[in-house]
């Protein structure tokens, strides 16, 4: 019996470069626009928010961007992360498919997010920044930046969506143990927060609102920059260490994925595993199916409009062309806070428009059923976000069984669910419901999209 086999890359194989898919795109992604002038933004427009090194990565054209040695030194603590063959899950499904997963939950914060939190903290420190403000939904990103801030001696303030702040005190405690300051959003600390609270003193918050608060603070204070945990090009860039390692590990396993799967909220863990494989294809390599999986209750890629929109609710960010549900749309409170974002990474949206990736959406009951099946077979309890990818993988594997064909499926298991146990408790107690999709609320949000000449 050979079981659940692990493919470990030696530390000497830790990537030295991030992969920049912009270098291989058949057509470039549409430019980011200044919301006032509607002209493409330049580096100086973004300088109040980000250190210049990150802004230059945002618009970089070269295929490989060197990972600084101090960042590699921190990565070394948990990277290269393991790749597993899910043999026990395959047996449980009785499928001819061969299933592999890249396991990002081994990072100190428990997800893929430190892959970008660490370089972001590093570049900020290099630029002399002493304070970073950010937002968090489920808390994966906030705790990752708190961790990175502790390592590089930067004060981190996290605007945490209020409903998460109240429901997930343990995630908050993790951030505070790392030394970060957590603020329930909407808060009275910012004009955007106060504006929301004036309309509704009990507003549960949203990622869009928390982004407004964090951006506002950074824009107003000289000693403070802003950090975003997904969506932006440089964030997706940093996550490509996942796929670069996975390509080498799949070669170690002597296998090559026919299907690559990741869940999508803002798009960064999906991009992390998918872009290096996609880049190889764009340079003339083999075509693979690349599948983005999102929640049916926040279906930006499958049902959103591809249009210019704001990244936040308070309309403080530039305009980016992306699949959006409208920046005023508040997704319902399903149990995968990391996927409750109205928009999608512009690069992921662009690839969808080019027909280079697929997208599908699942309701949460099916998603948790898959997560429990995975936990019992593989022993790892996934984050609710990751369960979306697990659901798609199990469905693909069952389809292989039905067709009697063997395919190789690779997915990114982006984090563990140790801080999401209430969701599992609710699932077992029958309290989770599939959510009705509020077509009317969405239509209203889409009607409010900013008007940008074609």
Which one of the spans 77-85, 134-142, 264-272, 301-309 is the region binding a second copy (CB under 8 A)?
A: 77-85
Interface segment toward a second copy; rule CB under 8 A; list 53-61, 93-101, 330-338, 421-429: 421-429
Q: Which of 25, 60, 365, 372 binds a second copy (CB under 8 A)?
A: 372
Of the residues 16, 38, 77, 251, which one makes contact with a second copy according to CB under 8 A: 77
* Touching a second copy, residues 350-369 (CB under 8 A): none
C-beta of 83 vs 325, nearer to a second copy: 83
Q: What are the C-alpha distances in Å from 182 to residues 118, 135, 179, 421? A: 19, 9, 10, 21
Which residues share a beta bridge with 409?
Answer: 99, 259
CA 153-154-159 angle, 5° bins: 145
- Distance between start and end Cα atoms, the chain: 60
110 binds a second copy (CB under 8 A): yes
Phi, psi dihedrals of residue 434, rounded to the nearest 5°: -70, 135
Looking at the Cβ atoms of 3 and 222, the one nearer to a second copy is 3
Instruction: Give 138-171 as a 3 state SS string.
Output: CCHHHHHHHHHHHHHCCEEEEEEEHHHHHHCHHH
Report the nearest approach of a second copy to the CB of residue 245 (Å): 14
Q: Which residues have a Cβ under 8 Å from the Cβ of 391 and sit 6 or more positions away?
A: 293, 362, 366, 367, 369, 370, 371
CB of 228 to a second copy, least distance (A): 21
178 binds a second copy (CB under 8 A): yes
378 binds a second copy (CB under 8 A): yes
173 counts as binding a second copy under rule CB under 8 A: yes
Phi, psi at 290, each rounded to 5°: -115, 120
- 38, 47, 76, 198: residue in contact with a second copy (rule CB under 8 A): 76
Rounded Cα gap, residues 97 and 129, in angstroms: 49
* SS3 at position 80: coil
Q: Which residues are at the interface with a second copy (CB under 8 A)?
A: 1-6, 8, 10-11, 69-70, 73-74, 76-78, 84, 88, 106, 108-110, 147, 150-151, 169-170, 173-174, 176-179, 372, 375-381, 416, 418-419, 421-422, 424-425, 428
């Amino acid at each position: 019996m050979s079981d659940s086999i692990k493919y470990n890359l030696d530390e000497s194989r830790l990537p030295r470069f991030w992969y920049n898919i912009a270098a291989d795109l058949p057509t470039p992604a549409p430019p980011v626009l200044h919301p006032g002038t509607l002209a493409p933004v330049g580096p100086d427009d973004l300088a109040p928010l980000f250190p210049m090194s990150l802004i230059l990565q945002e618009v970089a054209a070269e295929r490989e961007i060197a990972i600084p040695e101090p960042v590699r030194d921190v990565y070394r603590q948990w990277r290269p992360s393991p790749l597993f063959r899910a043999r026990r899950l395959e047996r449980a499904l009785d499928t001819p498919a061969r299933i592999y997963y890249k396991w990002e939950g081994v990072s100190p914060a428990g997800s893929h997010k430190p892959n970008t939190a660490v370089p972001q903290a590093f570049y900020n420190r290099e630029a002399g920044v002493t304070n970073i403000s950010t937002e968090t939904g489920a808390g994966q990103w906030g705790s990752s930046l708190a961790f990175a801030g502790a390592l590089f001696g930067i004060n981190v303030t996290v605007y945490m969506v209020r409903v998460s702040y109240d429901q997930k005190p343990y995630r908050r405690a993790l951030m505070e143990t790392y030394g970060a300051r957590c603020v329930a959003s909407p808060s009275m600390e910012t004009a955007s927060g106060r504006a929301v609270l004036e309309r509704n003193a009990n507003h549960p918050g949203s990622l869009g609102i928390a982004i407004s608060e964090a951006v506002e603070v950074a824009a107003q204070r000289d000693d403070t920059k802003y950090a975003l945990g997904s969506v932006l090009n440089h964030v997706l860039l940093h996550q490509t260490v996942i796929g670069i390692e996975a390509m080498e590990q799949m070669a170690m396993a002597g296998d090559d994925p026919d299907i690559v799967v990741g869940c999508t909220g803002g798009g960064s863990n999906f991009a992390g595993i998918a872009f290096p494989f996609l880049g190889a294809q764009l340079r003339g390599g083999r075509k693979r199916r690349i599948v983005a999986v999102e929640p049916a209750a926040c279906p930006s890629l499958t049902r959103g409009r591809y249009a210019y929109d704001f990244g936040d609710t308070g309309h403080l960010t530039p305009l980016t062309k992306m699949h959006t549900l409208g920046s005023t749309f508040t997704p319902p409170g399903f149990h995968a806070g990391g996927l409750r974002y109205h928009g999608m990474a512009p690069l992921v949206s662009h690839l969808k428009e080019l027909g280079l990736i697929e997208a599908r959406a699942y309701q949460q009951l099916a998603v948790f059923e898959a997560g429990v099946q995975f936990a019992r077979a593989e022993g790892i309890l996934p984050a609710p976000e990751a369960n979306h990818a697990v659901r798609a993988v199990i469905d693909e594997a069952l389809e292989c069984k039905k067709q009697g064909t063997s395919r190789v499926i690779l997915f990114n298991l982006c984090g563990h669910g140790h801080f999401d146990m209430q969701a599992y408790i609710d699932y077992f107690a029958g309290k989770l419901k599939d959510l009705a999709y509020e077509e009317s609320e969405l239509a209203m949000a889409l009607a409010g999209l900013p008007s940008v000449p074609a």
